[in-house]
Amino acid sequence: MGQRVGTLAAGIREAAQEIPANGLRVLETGLPRPVAPAVLPTRHRDPSDRLPTARAMAEGAGCGMPAMLGGHCPDRLVACGWSPPDGLGARPRPGRSGARCAGAPAAAGCRPMAGGGARMMPIGRRQAAMLAMAALAAPRLGRAQGSWPERPVRLILPFGAGGAADTLARSVANAFAPHANGQSLVVENRGGAGGTIAGAATAQARPDGYTLMLADLGANGIGKELQPSVPYDPATAFTPVCHLVNLPLAFVVPASLPVDDIAGFVALARRRGDMVYAHPGIGYAGHLAQEFMNRELGLKMTPVPYRSGAEVARSILAAETESTFMTVSTSLPFIREGKAKALAVSSKAPVPQLPNVPPMATVLPGFEALVWHGIVGPAGLPPEITAAANRAFNAVLADPAVREAAVTRQAAEIVGGTPDQFGRFIQAEIARWTPLIRSLGLRAE
C-alpha cells in the first residue's frame, strides 16, 4: 500500500510540474500531454491549500470535478475511499474514508459500493488524456466562435474593379481591422452573370464567417427570376448580416434634349413614340427603374443594353440614347459640366448633391428605385458569428472615412441596423421587382 501511494504521489507531482494553472499543456501535435497514472480525490479542503493544477487534474481524471470546480468541497463532501500522502495539500477528515458526497453522483472512474458509496478505479495515461481533451474541447470551441474573426475575412464582390461598389467595398475594408480583432477584410472581385457568379461562390462557401459577400439586388434578390439556371435560391441561400448603404439614381437625359423637367420628358416621349433609353444590363436597377416608369406612365421606349455603366454614360453624352437611370455619383460630373441634365432622382427624398432635382415620386407617387449594398454570408451562419459581424460592420459605418466616401462622394444613405432588418429589406425588394420581371418576361440568359 505504501509503495502504491508513493508512486501515485510522484505521478501527481510530475504532472503538476507539466501542467499550467489554466489547463493541460498542448504539444505541437495539438494533443494534450498524457497525465501520469493517477486517481484524484474529492475531499474537504480550503481554497488556499489547493494545488494550482488541481482543477486541470480534476477535469482530466474525472473524479473530484464538482469539488475542484467549486474551489473547495461543499458540506459533507469527502473522498471516494482515498487518502492522500502528506505534502499534497488535502486534509483528510478522520473516520470518513469510503463515504461520498450526499446527493452527488459517483464521479467518473468510480465504482458504486454497497451502501451507496463509490470506490476509485485506476485511470491510465491514455484514459486521462482522453478525458482531459474532452473537458478542454468545449471551452475552446466557445472561444473560437466568440472571438470572430481570428484570421482575415474574404469579401466577394459581384462587380469588377473600379466602379462605385468596388470603391465602397474598399473603403469598408480599409476601416475593418480596428473593429475586427485587427483582422483584414480582403476584397475579391468576381463580376459577371448579373452578380450570380459571386452569389454562387458565397452560397457554396463554408458558413464559418470567413467568406462574406457585398450583396446587391441582382445576386441576392432577383437573380433566379432573370436566370432560372442559377444554382441557388437567393431567398434561402444567404444569411443577412448588415445593410450598408442605399444609392439613389438620377434620371438623366442628353443636354441637347429639348426638355427641362420630367413632365416635359413624358409629354415628348408620348408625342414621339420612338425614343430609346440605355441601361447597363438586363435586371440592373437602372433597367428596372426605367421599365417601371414606362409601364406606369404609359410610355413606349426601346431599350438599348450596354456592357457597362461607362458605356451608358458615353451614349448619353453623345446623344445616341435619350434617357437612362444611373447612380448620382456617376452622373454628377456630367451634370455639373452641363453635358447632361438630371430631371429626377429615384429616391423618395431629394438628394443633397442635386438640391434642385425633384424625386420621381412627385410625378409618379410611390416610385422608388435604389442601388443597395449590404453584407451577407452563406446560409447557416451561426448566430453568434452573425451578431459579431453585424457589430463590426455597424462600427465601420460610423468611421469618418467611410462616411466621407459613401455620403459625400457617392450620395449614399448610410443604413446599418440589425440582420433581421436587412433580411426584411431584401424580401421587400424581391416582392417589389419580381412582378415586373414576370410581366415583362425578362430573361438575362
Distance CA 376, CA 390 (A): 10
Is the model's pLDDT at 104 over the cut of 90?
Answer: no
Work out the average pLDDT over 317-336. 95
pLDDT band at 390 (very low <50, low <70, confident <90, very high): very high
pLDDT band at 355 (very low <50, low <70, confident <90, very high): very high
- The pLDDT of residue 194 is 83
- The pLDDT of residue 133 is 54
CATH number of 149-445: 3.40.190.150
pLDDT band at 125 (very low <50, low <70, confident <90, very high): low
Length of the chain: 445
Span 214-235, pLDDT tens digits: 999 999 999 999 999 999 999 9
- The pLDDT of residue 128 is 53
pLDDT band at 320 (very low <50, low <70, confident <90, very high): very high
Q: Is 198 or 162 the better-scoring residue by pLDDT?
A: 198
- The pLDDT of residue 267 is 96
Is the model's pLDDT at 91 over the cut of 70?
Answer: no
Average pLDDT, the chain: 78
Task: Name the one residue in this structure whose C-alpha cell is 505521478.
Answer: 11
- The pLDDT of residue 33 is 40
Pair 251, 262: CB distance under 8 Å: yes
Partnered with residue 211 across adjacent β-strands are 154
Pair 197, 190: CB distance under 8 Å: yes
Work out the average pLDDT over 128-153. 61
For the chain, domain boundaries: 2-146, 149-445
pLDDT band at 17 (very low <50, low <70, confident <90, very high): very low
User: Which 3-state string (H, E, C) describes 409-445?
Assistant: HHCCEECCCCHHHHHHHHHHHHHHHHHHHHHHCCCCC
Is the model's pLDDT at 394 over the cut of 60?
Answer: yes
What grid cell was written down for 244?
A: 450598408
Distance CA 435, CA 438 (A): 5
